[in-house]
Amino acid sequence: MAQEDIFKKLVAHCKEYGFVFQSSEIYDGLGAVYDYGQLGVELKNNIKKYWWDSMVLLHENVVGLDSAIFMHPTIWKASGHVDAFSDPLIDNKDSKKRYRADVLIEEQLAKIEGKIEKEITKAKKRFGDAFDEQQFRETNPRVLANKKKFDELHTRFAKALNDGDLDELKQIIIDQGIVCPVSGSRNWTDVRQFNLMFATEMGATAEGASTIYLRPETAQGIFVNYLNVQKTGRMKIPFGIAQIGKAFRNEIVARQFIFRMREFEQMEMQFFVRPGTELEWFEKWKETRMNWHRALGFGDENYRFHEHEKLAHYANAAVDVEYKFPFGFKEVEGIHSRTDFDLSQHEEYSGKKIRYFDPELNESYVPFVVETSIGVDRMFLQIISAAYTEEKLEKDSRIVLRIPAPLAPVKLAVLPLVKKDGLPEIARNIINDLKFDFNCQYDEKDSIGKRYRRQDAIGTPFCVTIDHQTIDDNTVTIRYRDTMAQKRVAIEELRGIIDAQVSFKKLFGQA
RNA sequence: GCGGGAAUAGCUCAGUUGAUAGAGCAUUAGCCUUCCAAGCUAAGGGUCGCGGGUUUGAGCCCCGUUUCCCGCUCCA
């Protein structure tokens, strides 16, 4: 089956069984926003717990944080998001290419400047040593004409940019006769401002309100709390701060189901280190994070590192962990060496010293940062993609979600073989005993085979079946999702058997 | 944002030339009591994405719009 078909089935499966719904569906939906259903929320919570425990419980020097989504607007100036996340863009209708309007005009300016230089070069050749460039510039009519053009355009362009006048930017492009480098046509769309950050007003009255942004990443919440955590937690470098939380980006193109959403959730850890040691730590976290992924058992060959060739303004090393989705290898996690960029920026903008006094070196410095940043929703999609399996059996087929047992939304289903002879009562007793430890489901509807199929479809790793023998000797059959094998065990053994399989220790043991 | 395709029951989809809205699965109740789906009976579930137009009459034709998918583009 084509990979694309599998993906479509996956999306349908997620809806049909209550994992993921489109947001506001009864109102025709809201683009690139999704809700997690009754099973989706369980899986998502388990993913977050797997990450949190592996970071905060397993590392003595990593602590947690939960910072607010609203933050002081200057933070986004310091981080570079205000500038980097907003561009005036224009499309050429013939070539379908998109350009930054300001870049097109800058190129036009450079072109005019080029003409002037050409005149000068020509003149230089002609006059030889006697050439007076200064005089030539001031007197040559062609140079003066171009200079005038340049100055006029530059003034007009600068004013339009400062005023944020998009219509004027388009008018400049039209007036200058700027053509698309690909199609050579002047068939342009309007200039539009794309700001990737969502803005809102804080303050009760219009005059007193100020624009604040919904955070486009959770990392800054960690950086601005660096001093608080370091001091109150008596943290010694190297140490890390972990956080799980929502972030918001007004994506121009958001697609591929929950892979790219406008509201999404990140699991980030910022690790503060001594300058000069950041690349060692970068390598260490690369390895640690890859092991975390591989421990899920979806096949090492389905993961790879993707080194960034073009680094962001803040980084001196960056790598993605990519997973082989049905639509190709895609990023699920980024590991970045962010240098001291963020903390230094916050020092500058806030005017506060953000330093660490290193007792070993007997000096203080701005720590360097190694970041691991993973999308919860991408991880969710990764697990569902990897787990979704259509199996041909001898006489029929089944759809089974091979979700690792510790992450499975429902851990066990308890099924009376028939709904009489006291079997349902025994089943209820077992659930009452185990429900504090595991997410349990009860089901007595339809044939036993059908009930097994239903549990397979939502990834329940264990089914416990009560039959007439149970009445005699207190034993039940436990049926395993992946192998469909069954084993007869005593009711008292259930907790131990299941616990051994669904505990995170099982995953951590391999990580 | 541009181009192409799509939208009918919870899911997958039929629906002829414009004339009473359908199937399979799923769901619910009952029967049957059986360790790997698809046994029997019955029931519920639809403003055919939304808005307008053409027409005696629109799920079907036309226009707009929203959402999703594919390609391009973009992507700390």
Is strand B less than 7 A from the beta carbon of A445? Answer: yes
Q: Which of residues 307-326 of A touch strand B (CB under 7 A)?
A: 312-314
Given A171, A195, A219, the domain boundary residue is A195
Average pLDDT over chain A, rounded to an integer: 87
Q: Tell me the C-alpha distance between A371 and A388, whole Å.
A: 31
Q: In this structure, are A347 and A493 located in the same domain?
A: no
Contacts of A401 by beta carbon, 8 Å cutoff, 6+ apart: A384, A387, A388, A389, A456, A457, A458, A459
Mean pLDDT of A272-287: 95
pLDDT band at A480 (very low <50, low <70, confident <90, very high): very high
Instruction: Calculate the angstrom distance between C1' of B33 and CA of A15.
Output: 33
Torsion of CA A273, A276, A277, A280, to 10 degrees: 130
Given A141, A172, A195, the domain boundary residue is A195
Contact (CB, 8 A) for A376 and A244: yes
Instruction: Calculate the angstrom distance between C1' of B28 and CA of A16.
Output: 17
Where on strand B do bases come within 7 A of a protein Cβ? Answer: 1-3, 10-12, 26-29, 32-39, 49-50, 66-76
Q: Tell me the C-alpha distance between A40 and A58, whole Å.
A: 26
Q: In this structure, are A202 and A254 located in the same domain?
A: yes
Q: What is the pLDDT of residue A93?
A: 62
pLDDT band at A392 (very low <50, low <70, confident <90, very high): confident
Instruction: Calculate the angstrom distance between C1' of B66 and CA of A95.
Output: 27
Mean pLDDT of A423-427: 93
Q: In this structure, are A234 and A356 located in the same domain?
A: yes
Segment among A24-28, A411-415, A425-429 with least mean pLDDT? A24-28
Domain that holds residue A32: 1-85+197-294+334-392
pLDDT band at A3 (very low <50, low <70, confident <90, very high): low
Single-letter residue type at A193: Q
Q: Tell me the C-alpha distance between A136 and A145, whole Å.
A: 13
Give how many domains chain A has, as a whole number. 3
Residue A319 inside a domain? The answer is: no
Given A160, A195, A230, the domain boundary residue is A195
Q: What is the pLDDT of residue A50?
A: 96
* A191 compared with A502, residue with greater pLDDT: A502
Q: What is the ipTM of this complex?
A: 0.85
- Res A280 pLDDT > 80: yes
Segment (H or E) for A458: helix A448-458
Read off the CATH number of the domain in which A426 is found: 3.40.50.800
- Other CB atoms closer than 10 Å to residue A334's CB: what's the count? 21
Segment among A115-129, A278-292, A342-356, A423-437 with least mean pLDDT? A115-129
Residue A441 inside a domain? The answer is: yes
Q: What pTM was estimated for this model as a whole?
A: 0.84
Q: In this structure, are A219 and A188 located in the same domain?
A: no
Tens digits of residue pLDDT in A158-176: 777 666 677 777 778 777 7
Read off the CATH number of the domain in which A185 is found: 3.30.40.230
